[in-house]
Amino acid sequence: MITVLKFGGTSVGSAEAIRRSAKIIAAGNGGRVAVVSAMSGVTNHLIQFLESDNARTDDALALLIKKHMDVANELLTGKLLKEFTKGFNERVDSLRDLLNDKGARSDPYFNDNISSQGERLSVLLLSYILMSMGRESVSLTSEEAGIYAAGPPGLGTADLQKTSAGLMMNVKPLILRGVIPVITGFYGRNEDGKPLTFGRGGSDYSAAVVANGLDADCLEIWTDVDGFMSADPRVVPEAIVIDEMNFGEAAELAYLGAKVLHPRTIEPVRMKHIPVKVKNSAKPERPGTLIHHLRAPKNEMLRSVAMKADLSIITVGSSEIAYRPRMVARIIDKIADAGVIVYAISTSLSTVALLIHNLDVKETLKHLNLLDPTDVERIDVKSNMALICAVGDDLLRRCGVSAEIFGAVFEAGANVELISEGASDVSLNFVVPTDMAIGVVKSLHRKFVGG
């Protein structure tokens, strides 16, 4: 049996947290593989350095050195501390050389290389702490493990076939010998061997990719919450933990607002029916949420309500656009050229409405304005919108679902600006003004979930 365990930044962010995570890894039976994020705050620190015009390399490194060495000095002693310090200093020296290399900054993957350095330090630290507990362990970078990725800088996608071959060759033999590999999350290597990150929060996705490549029996995501909730507890204090979900429900919630998992985590494990457990590393005794494909229907109207704020609706008007499919294709192409994520699309006879993040509006308009002006009558923007994601069982097969849900929206006094229904049988998504979103979530949760 092989279990892949992923630990986020807060789960390795302090001496107490990393000791707790190491105990969780060491306590299990069978083959164990850990995938680890950078210590909390490290990646942000590195990105801030990249964005600063006058930051000094030594100042940037001083914080990283102190953060890691404080933990090492507290948890390691003797030979292990000496060996860790030697390996750690070598990695810091490599990072210093990279930051001081002015020529390296012209490489399009330079930012990916720098922003992924925190993981290279955290895996080394966790591996030595496991050894201090009597478990044989080895730290591996994504390059050493054989995690392959393709795509533009900052937006990599794992090559699952090549990654599986790499993991079977580089990682599986270690597992069979009883060694615990601790692997960097967040990034893979492209075909040129350069680091390519999977986007912020991409360590969840990395762990799913590792689980897929090793044909793991289970993926455990250890984080700082008790699992998926029926709503954001900061918005709905009476929200409850969802004990069991199917892959579709978890994917919808992750994509449309719930911050428990990176949105791309589900697909690599769903492909091979690998169950996922989401648990709290600070409270490992709690059951958490189990995600798999066999969940029995519970005949619940709604199981969870999530929201994603800071969105805008861009409406492109063109005469009888419904009868001009190539025009629709050109609009979508321009959005793709801008590298913008579209959260929902709605069409009518003469308009196409697209839901995007507020921060992407400027770049989107820049690309849409390249369309032939004779084809576009107008482009409108409606900002400060929020997407509500209502997840439940077989929503498409239930008669009157929309009426009941929008009745609760009416009770909250909100106007629905856009609807996305039918794309998934487990969710109904719609857009309301941001200032009404919390009221809508509370109304839906109170009426259909309880509390």
- One-letter amino acid at 335 equals I
pLDDT reported for residue 358: 95
Residue 441 near residue 388 (C-beta atoms within 8 A): yes
pLDDT tens string 15-44: 999 999 999 999 988 999 999 999 999 999
In angstroms, the CA 358 to CA 134 distance is: 50
- CB-based burial, 275-304: b 16+ in 10 Å, e otherwise: bbbbbbbbeeeeebbbbbeebeeeeebbbb
Long-range contacts, 175-179 (Cβ 8 Å, 24+): 175/2, 175/31, 175/32, 175/33, 175/214, 176/31, 177/136, 178/136, 179/136, 179/137, 179/138
Altogether, the residues listed in the chain come to a count of 451
Can you list the domains of the chain with their CATH numbers? Answer: 2-292 (3.40.1160.10), 304-449 (3.30.2130.10)
Chain segment 246-274, per-residue pLDDT in tens: 898 888 888 776 678 888 999 999 999 99
Query: What is the structure's pLDDT at 396?
Result: 67
Decide: 344 and 420 in contact? Cβ < 8 Å: yes
Does the pLDDT value for residue 135 go beyond 90?
yes
Band of pLDDT at residue 52, cut at 50, 70 and 90: confident
Query: What is the C-alpha R_g of the chain?
Result: 24
Whether the model pTM is above 0.85: yes
Over 80: is that where the pLDDT of 426 sits? no
Model confidence at 423: pLDDT above 70: no
Burial 180-215 (b: 16+ CB within 10 A, else e): bbbbbbbbbbbeeebbbbbbebbbbbbbbbbbbbbe
